[in-house]
């Protein structure tokens, strides 16, 4: 980008911004990111322990009952993705002895399993056989293709032999053992395609790092302040909204000048563990700072908060994750009078930001290789300098 960029050229650049897609192929309202991650050293294959298990449905339900299977119910294909007909057809497959796809799980402490792929399948089986174990209404079969005589049935309506058939059905579980390093687990699961698509990094973090951070991130993403600041344009599908909230927390807990990872995914995983380890007072303080940042973003940038802006076009770009973290964390460090002054001088802020977008180094820092240490520090520094110039004008 440069000062000589014309309005048509700006619109062309804006039109070429790629976006993330949800389950159905529609835009999530978030710019697709080139984070520029790399593996600095190869994994030691001796540290990777993967086992294939063949537990019966009954054994898996016992694990759910005892709390040793973590279904992370709002992860991946959440409630409502599968229709009653689709769930019923899965039960019909069990009755017809049709083999189900492999379940993928990671072993945690105390022999717990976190299901990474297969949550909807396992939840459907539990809803049919033992709905009380997952606090669900019983699944009543509908739309069966072959065993139509069982339409309208719940589990207890089936003949005893068919109940036994389901309970004794063996499922295939690929289990990543507890001793496997966390970064290796993430690398393995990142290679798994589910339903023809790869899991997002935040979906993996949600599945493999249980604890209070899950609900905390969901709470932040559902807040009125976040939705208002992002123009309610960020879809919760694929958990992009929660990842943005996590990025704010990560750079609040570890200031940009102290960011020295280079492995951005590892940086975010560590932040999620930090949130898990925080006490309720610390999380409350983080929540207050986050909400303040969202209100500040709305006040200072209006409908263009956390988005690229181009001179010569008033169109709104998708939310950019790198800008989200840089703008929100930087603004959260200012006093209320300073934020009010920036909001009062919004025209000057806009002009300053347009100037940054025409700076090739800044544009590159929010567009490509965004996890690079130098680019992270540069985008935070230049934004802060721009705000300070407006404040001192």
DSSP bridge partners of 307: 319
| Digit-coded pLDDT (tens) for 224-265 | 999 999 999 888 878 889 999 999 999 999 999 999 977 899
The per-residue pLDDT string of the chain (393 residues; one tens digit each, 9 = 90 and over) reads 444 454 444 444 444 566 665 554 556 677 777 666 554 555 566 667 889 999 999 999 999 999 999 876 554 444 446 889 999 999 999 999 999 999 999 998 888 998 888 888 999 999 999 999 988 999 999 999 999 999 999 999 999 999 999 999 999 999 999 888 888 888 778 776 555 456 788 988 988 898 999 999 999 999 999 999 999 988 887 888 999 999 999 999 999 999 997 789 999 999 999 999 999 999 999 999 999 999 999 999 999 999 999 887 777 889 999 999 999 999 999 999 999 999 999 999 999 999 999 999 999 999 999 999 999 999 999 999 999 999 998
pTM flag (> 0.85) = no
Residue 47 and residue 181 in contact, taking contact as beta carbons nearer than 8 Å: yes
Residue 225 and residue 302 in contact, taking contact as beta carbons nearer than 8 Å: no
Q: Which tokens hold the place of 37?
A: 């991650």
Q: Which residue has the tokens 């006490």?
A: 279
Contacts of 25 (CB under 8 A, 6+ apart): none
Q: How far apart are CA 225 and CA 241, in angstroms?
A: 13
Q: Domain locations in the chain? A: 7-38+197-392, 49-179
- Three-state SS for 50? strand
């Amino acid at each position: 980008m440069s000062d000589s960029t014309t309005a048509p050229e700006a619109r062309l650049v804006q039109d070429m911004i790629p976006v993330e897609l949800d389950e159905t192929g529609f835009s999530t309202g978030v710019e697709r990111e080139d984070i520029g991650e790399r593996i600095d050293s190869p994994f030691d294959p001796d540290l990777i322990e993967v086992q294939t298990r063949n537990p019966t449905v009954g054994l898996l339900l016992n694990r759910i009952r005892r709390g040793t299977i973590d279904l992370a119910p709002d992860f991946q294909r959440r409630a409502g993705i599968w229709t009653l007909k689709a769930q019923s057809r899965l039960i019909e497959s069990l009755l017809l002895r049709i083999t189900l796809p492999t379940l993928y799980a990671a072993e945690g402490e105390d022999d717990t399993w976190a299901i990474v792929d297969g949550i909807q399948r396992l939840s459907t089986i539990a809803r049919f056989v033992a709905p009380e174990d997952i606090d669900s209404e019983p699944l009543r079969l509908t739309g069966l293709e072959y065993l139509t005589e069982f339409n309208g049935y719940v589990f207890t309506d089936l003949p005893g032999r068919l109940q036994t058939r389901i309970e004794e059905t063996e499922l295939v579980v690929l289990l990543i053992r507890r001793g496997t390093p966390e970064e290796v687990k993430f690398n393995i699961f990142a290679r798994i395609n589910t339903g023809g698509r790869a899991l997002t990094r935040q979906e993996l973090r949600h599945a493999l790092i249980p604890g209070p951070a899950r609900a905390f991130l969901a709470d932040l993403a559902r807040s009125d302040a976040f939705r208002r600041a992002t123009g309610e344009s960020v879809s919760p599908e694929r958990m992009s909204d929660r990842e943005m909230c996590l990025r704010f927390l990560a750079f609040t807990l570890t200031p940009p000048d102290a960011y020295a990872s280079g492995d951005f995914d590892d940086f975010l995983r560590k932040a999620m563990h930090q949130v898990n380890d925080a006490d309720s007072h610390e999380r409350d303080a983080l929540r207050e700072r986050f909400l303040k940042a969202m209100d500040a973003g709305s006040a200072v940038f209006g409908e263009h908060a956390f988005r690229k802006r181009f001179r010569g076009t008033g169109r709104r770009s998708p939310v950019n994750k790198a800008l989200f973290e840089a703008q929100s964390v930087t603004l959260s460090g200012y006093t209320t009078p300073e934020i009010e002054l920036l909001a009062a001088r919004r025209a000057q802020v806009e002009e300053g930001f347009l100037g940054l977008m025409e700076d090739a180094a800044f544009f590159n820092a929010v567009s490509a290789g965004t996890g690079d240490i130098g680019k992270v520090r540069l985008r935070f520094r230049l934004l802060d300098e721009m705000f300070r110039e407006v404040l001192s004008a």
